[in-house]
Amino acid sequence: MPELPEAETIARTLFPHIANCIFESAVLLRQKSLHPLSMSLDKAAGLKVAGTRRRGKLVIIDLDDLSSSCLLPKMLVFHLRMTGRVFAKDESWPSCSHTRCFFSLLRPSGERIKLFFDDIRAFGQIMLTTKKMIENWKFWKELGPEPFETDLKTFKNAIKGGRPVKTVLMDQKTIAGIGNIYADESLFCAGINPKRPADSITELEAQKLLTSIQAILKKSISECGSSIRDYLDANGNAGAFQNFFSVYGKGGKNCIKCGAILQKTKINGRATVFCSNCQN
DNA sequence: TCCTCCCTGTTC
DNA sequence: GAACAGGGAGGA
């Protein structure tokens, strides 16, 4: 389940494979995997890979239009949702039943490669867009600040309302890139009960929570993300942060801090694990 | 503000 | 063969 650290790892590991490549053609195998606001993937032809990056959980390939005099930068945006994967392989690599689209790319060396977007559960979507067009996307426009670029005041102001603090954390408008894994882990690290109404969080707790989020995301990025079942980076390697989980997927086991049995519950329809002793 | 739906592979 | 995993859209 790619969240921020996994998207970051994919963006980093993908770039060496496709640096300076020119897009030649696209094959879309599942129409619904194309975002409704996307332009036709054929429009990628002739564009050159300028870089790869991440925004929240989104993986982005920046593209330069070499032919256009008005230099209108385009970008290919991947929303990986649960099981999306982006990776490059040599030309002979076959698509599989989970391949949603693939591109043919030309390397500066003249070698031809393929860029795949595979997605088992088919929740993910791909979008070819421009910096201007993407502003029409409500999700993009409302996306909260990056966890490493925000400050306490902004964060505290976003933690508001009577919803459970975990729900607010996972709301991409609050802060970008936090999903179920990192919400549970951050709340445990900060000693905050995930069911607490967001507006009951004190300034001190918000401070602790933001620090925890940043520390956990940083650690996970350094471990190349978490691989629960499906996630692999652009090189096909698994992450290792799952070996550092304190609570996620550990309901019924003992708390690593106090030894109490970790509670498993559902918040907003999402599996949630916490320690009722350590998290108040 | 909460619930359902979209998906498919894995586990019970 | 049902339950479960879950991000985000959309509807109640």
What are the pLDDT tens digits along chain A (280 aa)? 789 999 999 999 999 999 999 999 999 999 999 999 999 999 999 999 999 999 999 999 999 987 765 567 899 999 999 899 999 999 999 999 999 999 999 999 999 999 999 999 899 999 999 988 999 899 999 999 999 999 999 999 999 999 999 999 999 999 999 999 999 999 999 999 999 999 999 999 999 999 999 999 999 999 999 988 778 999 989 999 999 999 999 999 999 999 999 999 999 989 999 999 999 9
Which bases of strand C have any atom within 7 Å of the beta carbon of a protein residue?
4-9
pLDDT number for residue A72:
76
Distance of CA A119 to the CA centre of its chain: 14
Dist. CA A127–CA A102, nearest whole Å: 13
pLDDT number for residue A269:
87
Q: From the alpha carbon of A264, which nucleotide's C1' atom is closest?
A: C4
Q: Which residues contact A278 (CB under 8 A, 6 or more apart)?
A: A188, A191, A255, A257, A258, A260
Best CA proximity match to A123, nearest among A155, A85, A96, A92? A85
Q: How many helices (H) and strands (E) does chain A have?
A: 6, 10
Dist. CA A190–CA A210, nearest whole Å: 9
Q: Exactly one of A5, A6, A55, A57 is catalytic; which is it?
A: A57
- Looking at residue A242, what DSSP letter applies? G
| Token pair listed for A233 | 């980076």
pLDDT number for residue A86:
95
A85 catalytic residue (yes or no): no
pLDDT number for residue A229:
74
How many CB atoms lie under 10 A from the CB of residue A182?
A: 25
Which residue ranges have CB below 7 A from strand B?
A 32, 82, 97-98, 120-123, 161-163, 167, 229, 268-269
pLDDT number for residue A45:
95
Beta bridge partners, A65, equal A47
pLDDT number for residue A211:
97
Q: Which residue blocks in A19-164 are alpha helix, DSSP H? A: 138-142, 152-158
pLDDT number for residue A228:
82
Q: Which residues contact A16 (CB under 8 A, 6 or more apart)?
A: none
A57 catalytic residue (yes or no): yes
